[in-house]
């Protein structure tokens, strides 16, 4: 069973407030993106990695990561599009014909564990579409303007993480629909839902945070240092 990973790092990270996109910001001495790649390098079930970076930053990325970090599984770096869906599609077009499973992950989730990636691979092989998720802890309310419209039933709501895994033909079919119909979604599993295929949710990890703000960097650095001490 051949499995390729697409690490989606094509965003500009405008909310982060730095000159360079947040995936290149240094976390504990290394770019955030490199920590993310390390986790996939260590996962035995991942055969190859396709890295999707912002437009105009392919050569810059190559100079940043290849001289300093001995990555063995990156087969290609490609530039993304203006939207996440466009970036992932560009990565999908680089997938080998004989690949069976595709694992898609946010480049700014550097604390994903190799063991959880492995679990996503195993479950994807069985079910075709898998996402990580955590049950929400806070009470959630739907609002209109400043007013509460509805209080949502917390036990039915999950916060979704990546990686997400798919049979190759299934995710390609979804993205063919994207090209024809202009579907948009904030994650890839939503596109599979639109096809009418069930998506299995497996329990994620609380430390698998998505770095969006400078505060997230401080939290990630604390968690990373704690992980290294425990190891």
Which helix (H) or strand (E) element contains residue 59?
A: helix 58-65
| Across 79-83, 90-94, 163-167, 203-207, least confident range | 79-83
Over residues 186-206, the mean pLDDT reads 95
168 closest CA partner among 53, 71, 47: 47
103 contacts 124 by C-beta, under 8 angstroms: yes
| Across 18-22, 47-51, 53-57, 74-78, least confident range | 18-22
130 contacts 200 by C-beta, under 8 angstroms: yes
Query: For 8, which DSSP code?
Result: E
The confidence score (pLDDT) of residue 97 equals 95
How many CA atoms lie within 13 Å of 10's alpha carbon, on the beta-carbon side? 25
Query: For 14, which DSSP code?
Result: G
The confidence score (pLDDT) of residue 228 equals 62
d(CA 103, CA 121): 7
59 pLDDT above the threshold of 80: yes
46 closest CA partner among 56, 37, 55, 35: 37
Which helix (H) or strand (E) element contains residue 218?
A: helix 214-230
- What does pLDDT average to over the chain? 91
Q: How confident is the model at residue 226 (pLDDT cuts 50, 70, 90)?
A: confident
The phi and psi torsions of 4 (rounded to 5 degrees) equal -115, 145
d(CA 207, CA 205): 5
Q: What is the distance between the terminal CA atoms of the chain, rounded to a whole angstrom?
A: 30
pLDDT tens-place string over residues 86-137: 999 999 999 999 999 999 999 999 999 999 999 999 999 999 999 999 999 9
Q: Are strands 147-151 and 3-8 parallel, antiparallel or unpaired?
A: unpaired
Give me Rg for the CA atoms of the chain: 18
The confidence score (pLDDT) of residue 94 equals 96
Cα dihedral 25, 89, 173, 96 sign: negative
Which helix (H) or strand (E) element contains residue 85?
A: helix 84-92
Q: How confident is the model at residue 179 (pLDDT cuts 50, 70, 90)?
A: confident
The confidence score (pLDDT) of residue 137 equals 93
Over residues 199-207, the mean pLDDT reads 97
The confidence score (pLDDT) of residue 95 equals 97
- 177 compared with 71, residue with greater pLDDT: 71
Over residues 17-22, the mean pLDDT reads 70
CA angle 101, 102, 107 (to 5 degrees): 150
pLDDT tens-place string over residues 147-156: 999 999 988 8
Percentage of residues in the chain having pLDDT higher than 90: 75
The confidence score (pLDDT) of residue 18 equals 58
d(CA 199, CA 208): 20
């Amino acid at each position: 069973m051949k499995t390729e990973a697409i690490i989606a790092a094509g965003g500009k990270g405008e909310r982060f407030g730095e000159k360079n996109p947040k995936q290149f910001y240094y976390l504990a001495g290394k770019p955030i993106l490199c920590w993310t790649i390390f986790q996939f390098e260590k996962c035995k079930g991942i055969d190859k990695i396709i890295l999707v970076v912002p437009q105009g930053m392919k050569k810059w990325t190559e100079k940043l990561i290849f001289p300093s970090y001995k990555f063995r599984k990156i087969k290609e770096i490609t530039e993304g599009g203006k939207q996440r869906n466009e970036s992932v599609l560009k990565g999908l077009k680089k997938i080998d014909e004989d690949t069976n499973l595709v694992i898609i992950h946010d480049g700014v989730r550097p604390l994903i564990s190799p063991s959880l990636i492995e679990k996503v691979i195993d479950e994807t092989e069985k079910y075709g579409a898998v996402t990580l998720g955590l049950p929400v802890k806070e009470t959630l309310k739907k609002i209109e303007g400043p007013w509460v419209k509805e209080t949502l039933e917390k036990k039915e709501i999950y916060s979704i993480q990546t990686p997400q895994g798919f049979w190759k033909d299934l995710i390609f079919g979804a993205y063919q629909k994207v090209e024809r119909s202009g579907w948009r979604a904030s994650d890839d599993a939503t596109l599979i839902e639109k096809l009418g295929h069930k998506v299995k949710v497996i329990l994620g990890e609380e430390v698998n945070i998505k770095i969006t703000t400078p505060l997230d960097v401080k939290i990630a650095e604390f968690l990373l240092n704690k992980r290294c001490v425990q190891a």
